[in-house]
Amino acid sequence: MSDLIRIAVDAMGGDGSPKKVIDGIIHNHKLDKSSFYKIFGNEELINNDIKNKIDKNFYEIVHTDKVVKSADSPLEAAKRGKNTSMWLAIESVKNKDSDIVISAGNTGALLVVAKLNLKMIENIDKPALSALWPNKKGMSVVLDLGANIECSSKNLVDFSIMGASLYKSLYPQEIPNVALLNIGSEELKGNEIIKETFQLLNQKKNDNFNFSGYIEGNELMNGEVNVIVSDGFTGNVALKTAEGTANFITDELKKALSNNILGKISSLLNISNLNKFKKRLDPRLYNGAIFIGLDSPVVKSHGGTDFIGFSNSLGVCNRIIKGNLIDKIKNNIL
């Protein structure tokens, strides 16, 4: 079993844990037998859900009663000490007992505890929070999504390299197109940091990605760009706007198709297309933000997702390690 991807799992983070987390592990294991799950949390509760459902050769439980609460500030989470399920899971990666760590717990706490335990990759000043977004042609990597409100041009260049490396680790056959999120596509648009980053990336020759210049907010989903780079403030606003728009469209479509008899008939006649549309916008398919820039990858599952969403995040963990994300970043960073 030494060839298995070793995933450290904080079983106590997020809504409905640990049951949701364990059900996600069981579902992920049914789909792919190439992961070993090192599970941190209340052993009795975890055993109630996992016992006899997965071969014991594929998991291990590390017991702790201590947890980081959803309402904890990052400082409070750090003060809770080294025996919380989140801290122990991250420490497992630090000690090379696991390859990658995942938690559905408190995002701020996870970022702080990860930074306290793990070293930065050499020549990277700031880590970034990235995620997968759907587009017309497949998927895009977007970063930073809130870890860094202010960024220098070097930070944005680093994010470009890290984002491209993440995309390549998930989609090894493709060369990503990288673009800077900006208020216009013209070279003179944007603030000084954006314009300086443009010049640096334009001059840089990199076999890992193609630089495509600027991208505007209304082009994020057209699929021409695979890696979208911004500071954390702009990226977080773009993320929340996209999520809100998707929810609005889905809700309004439901209302339109259920308010009267014609709508109900139409929905029955188009049920196949409607199911495809619903699946395309299902947030569980894109669950899992990735904290990159540290010497081990950290994955944040959405706290409110269900076991299917958590299972999908475990799949992302597996693909990140198989795709050698950290080595790709190290080989391409300035």
Residues 10 and 131 in one domain: no
Tell me the DSSP string of 273-316: HHHHHHHHT-GGGG--EEEESBSS-EEE--TT--HHHHHHHHHH
Specify the pLDDT at position 285. Answer: 67
> Do 298 and 182 share a domain, yes or no?
no
Return the DSSP state at 173: T
Range of the domain at 94: 1-123+293-334
CA distance 173 to 257: 40
- Examine the domain organization and report whether 107 and 213 are in the same domain: no
DSSP percent split of the chain into helix, strand, coil, nearest 5: 45, 20, 35
CA 222 – CA 159 distance, rounded (Å): 21
101 and 8: one domain? yes
Q: How far is CA 197 from CA 35, 167, 187, 276, in A?
A: 39, 20, 11, 39
Is 19 found in the same domain as 107?
yes
102 and 43 in a single domain? The answer is yes
Confidence (pTM) = 0.85
pLDDT tens digits in sequence order for the chain, 334 residues long: 568 999 999 999 888 889 999 999 999 999 999 999 999 999 999 999 998 899 999 999 999 999 988 887 878 877 777 899 999 999 999 999 999 999 998 888 898 999 999 999 999 999 999 988 888 888 899 998 888 888 999 999 999 999 999 999 989 888 999 999 998 877 767 789 999 999 999 887 777 899 999 998 888 888 899 999 999 888 888 877 877 777 777 676 667 666 666 555 555 555 565 556 556 556 666 677 899 999 999 999 988 888 999 999 999 999 999 998 998 888 887 6
Query: For residues 124 and 148, is the Cβ–Cβ distance under 8 A?
Result: no
Pair (199, 76) in one structural domain: no
Kindly state whether residues 147 and 189 are assigned to the same domain.
yes
Residue 201 near residue 187, CB atoms below 8 Å = no
In the sheet where 227-229 sits, what is the strand order? 59-63, 35-41, 5-10, 100-103, 298-300, 289-292, 128-135, 138-143, 227-229, 177-181, 210-215
Closest CA to 124 of 134, 136, 133, 115: 115
Give the number of domains in the chain.
2
d(Cα 312, Cα 143) in Å, to the nearest integer?
Answer: 20
Please state, in angstroms and rounded to a whole number, the distance separating the CA atoms of residues 29 and 50.
Answer: 11
Verify that 74 and 131 share a domain, yes or no: no
**CA pair distance 163, 181, nearest whole angstrom:** 13
Q: Assign residue 315 the CATH number of its domain.
A: 3.40.718.10
Within 8 A by CB and 6+ apart from 307, the residues are 20, 21, 23, 24, 26, 27
- Token pair 């409100």 is found at 149
DSSP 8-state secondary structure symbol assigned to residue 176:
-
Same domain, 66 and 41: yes
249 and 306 assigned to the same domain: no
294, β-bridge pairs: 120
Distance CA 128, CA 156 (A): 10
Residues 322 and 251 in one domain: no
Neighbours of 243 (CB within 10 A): 13
How confident is the model at residue 132, as a pLDDT?
A: 87
